[in-house]
């Protein structure tokens, strides 16, 4: 595997503190997306809800477990209406007007003695409080842990930095809330019954993890050059672990694979709040950035808040707005409306001015080979794209290389024809029995 140096972090904001976004007058709590009819709501129009109250649930895909949805603010259910989600899909939301007392915000919460809980009890709490794993594609954390049944790969891997160079949400949480994140590691590793813990740390990190923090649990710390991209994907971390110098007691980590549990600081912080204080996931850390904004900030945002509210608290835009991109300039998705809502998997919102946008018109492949040269995994994205779009067919072995894709989107970034190469590979991976 090669590391690409064309995308680097050449500017860091290094926020010292996060700011809680002004409470919205209305929160649009996401319920389900188009085509997903398995949501069951337990509230109706006119009902009064409290902060963190369960307002419904849906069944997890493949697991059959209930995944709960909570009200992010206290208030009254005004309506159920469709809204745009950050991934471009529309979905049903519960419109809640703020009002009444808060259950968690501003309260002196009493810590639970969770150490006496069994792994099963912790899993139940994580599920009930709606904790999601935001490492990569968002997944229900409790479901991930309960289905992780490969004993030889039962490692907990903690990435203490961001996977996209354009924001610093996870690195902020890791540095500012280190104690809470480490407590989250204790909680998740106990629920997982982990064989060992891996910390992927940035080379110039000031984060300190005491050697005796986890007792007799095997721990491996690896230091990654997070200024080079990609360095935060599963494949990159697994590769770095296998190359790391290890003591004889740490050679067990050579068995690590993509089947381990990979988490980020924001996930661990949510797990800490859920298990220690019984607080559901009703807000998330979001980095608001972009050269359009009058100012940037690291916010704590109530779920269901609109992107427009985020922009307004930053002072609005002082130049023409071209695009709004969530979750990173390199890997993120462009949203079509400022009324798009903030969900649990949103880590950043970038407001990009029109003058910084390049030509986005799609053209035929010119067979330049740039996507092959830059791919860290050695995939041929152009051949897979042509196969999937009615062009020259390739063999099953070549198609199977799509399983190696980390989703870094570098092929997209260098393609002069602006082809959706990474998205095509992801669609191929998700097509049942297409590759295997």
245 burial (CB, 10 Å; 0-12 / 13-18 / 19+) is: exposed
Residue 307 near residue 340 (C-beta atoms within 8 A): yes
pLDDT exceeds 80 at position 153: no
Mean pLDDT of 128-156: 84
Taking residue 206's Cβ as centre, other Cβ atoms within 10 Å add up to 7
- What is the tens place of the pLDDT at every residue in 274-311? 999 999 999 999 999 988 888 888 999 999 999 999 99
Q: What is the DSSP letter of 5?
A: E
Mean pLDDT of 263-271: 97
Mean pLDDT of 407-414: 85
pLDDT exceeds 90 at position 346: yes
- Whole-angstrom Cα distance, residue 172 to residue 156? 21
- What is the tens place of the pLDDT at every residue in 17-56? 888 888 889 999 988 765 556 788 899 999 999 999 999 8
pLDDT at residue 182 in the model: 97
Mean pLDDT of 239-266: 89
- What is the tens place of the pLDDT at every residue in 55-112? 988 776 655 677 889 999 999 999 999 888 988 888 889 999 999 999 999 889 999 9
Those residues with Cβ within 8 angstroms of residue 328's Cβ, 6 or more apart along the chain or in another chain: 163, 164, 165, 166, 167, 347, 348, 350
pLDDT at residue 54 in the model: 94
pLDDT at residue 359 in the model: 63
pLDDT at residue 2 in the model: 44
Average pLDDT taken over every residue of the chain: 86
- Nearest Cα neighbor of 353 from 308, 290, 309, 294 is 290
pLDDT range class, residue 334, cuts 50, 70, 90: confident
pTM of the model: 0.90
H helix or E strand, kind and range, residue 92: strand 90-98
pLDDT at residue 265 in the model: 97
pLDDT exceeds 50 at position 3: no
3-class DSSP state of 38? coil
pLDDT exceeds 90 at position 7: no
Among the ranges given (140-154, 220-234, 370-384), the one the predictor scored with the smallest mean pLDDT: 140-154
Residue 230, preceding bond cis, omega within 30 degrees?
A: yes
Q: What share of the chain is helix, strand, coil (3-state, %, to 5)?
A: 30, 25, 45
3-class DSSP state of 145? helix
Taking residue 120's Cβ as centre, other Cβ atoms within 10 Å add up to 10
Among the ranges given (8-22, 77-91, 134-148), the one the predictor scored with the smallest mean pLDDT: 8-22
pLDDT at residue 152 in the model: 58
Residue 76 near residue 96 (C-beta atoms within 8 A): yes
- Whole-angstrom Cα distance, residue 66 to residue 40? 10
- Whole-angstrom Cα distance, residue 233 to residue 223? 14
pLDDT at residue 150 in the model: 59
pLDDT at residue 181 in the model: 97
pLDDT exceeds 90 at position 132: yes
Residue 285 near residue 297 (C-beta atoms within 8 A): no
pLDDT at residue 187 in the model: 97
Q: Which residues pair with 426 in a beta bridge?
A: none
pLDDT range class, residue 1, cuts 50, 70, 90: very low
């Amino acid at each position: 595997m090669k590391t690409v140096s064309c995308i680097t972090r050449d500017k860091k904001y290094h926020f010292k503190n996060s700011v809680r976004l002004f409470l919205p007058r209305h929160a649009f709590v996401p319920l389900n997306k188009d085509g997903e009819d398995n949501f069951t709501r337990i509230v109706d129009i006119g009902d009064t809800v409290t902060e963190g109250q369960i307002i419904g649930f849906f069944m997890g895909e493949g697991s059959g477990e209930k995944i709960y949805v909570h009200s992010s603010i206290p208030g009254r259910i005004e309506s159920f209406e469709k809204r745009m989600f950050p991934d471009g899909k529309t979905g049903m939301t519960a419109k809640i007007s703020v009002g009444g007392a808060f259950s968690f915000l501003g309260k002196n919460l009493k810590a639970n003695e969770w150490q006496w809980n069994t792994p099963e009890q912790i899993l139940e709490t994580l599920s009930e409080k709606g904790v999601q794993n935001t490492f990569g594609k968002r997944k229900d954390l409790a479901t991930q842990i309960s289905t992780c049944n490969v004993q030889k790969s039962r490692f907990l891997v903690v990435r203490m930095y961001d996977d996209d160079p354009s924001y610093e949400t996870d690195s902020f949480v890791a540095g500012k809330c280190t104690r809470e994140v480490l407590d989250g590691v204790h909680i998740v590793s106990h629920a997982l019954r982990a064989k060992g813990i891996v910390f992927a740390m940035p080379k110039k990190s000031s984060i300190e993890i005491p050697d005796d923090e986890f007792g007799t649990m095997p721990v491996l710390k690896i230091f990654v050059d997070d200024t080079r991209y990609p360095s935060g994907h599963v494949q990159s971390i697994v590769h770095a672990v296998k190359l790391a110098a290890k003591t004889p007691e740490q050679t067990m980590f050579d068995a690590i694979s993509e089947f381990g549990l990979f988490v980020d600081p924001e996930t661990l912080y949510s797990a800490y709040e859920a298990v220690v204080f019984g607080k559901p996931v009703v807000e998330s850390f979001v980095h608001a950035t972009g050269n359009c904004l009058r100012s940037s900030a690291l916010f704590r945002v109530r779920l269901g808040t609109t992107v427009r509210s985020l922009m307004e608290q930053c002072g609005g835009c002082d130049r023409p707005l071209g695009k709004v991109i969530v979750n990173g300039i390199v890997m993120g998705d462009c949203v079509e409306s400022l009324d798009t809502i903030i969900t649990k998997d949103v880590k950043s919102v970038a407001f990009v001015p029109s003058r910084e946008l390049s030509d986005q018109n799609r053209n035929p492949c010119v067979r330049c080979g740039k996507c092959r040269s830059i791919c860290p995994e050695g995939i041929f994205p152009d051949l897979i794209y042509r196969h999937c779009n009615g062009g020259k067919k390739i063999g099953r072995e070549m198609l199977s290389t799509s399983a190696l894709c980390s989703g870094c989107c570098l092929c997209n970034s260098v393609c002069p024809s602006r082809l959706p190469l990474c998205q095509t590979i992801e669609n191929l991976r998700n097509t049942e029995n297409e590759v295997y």
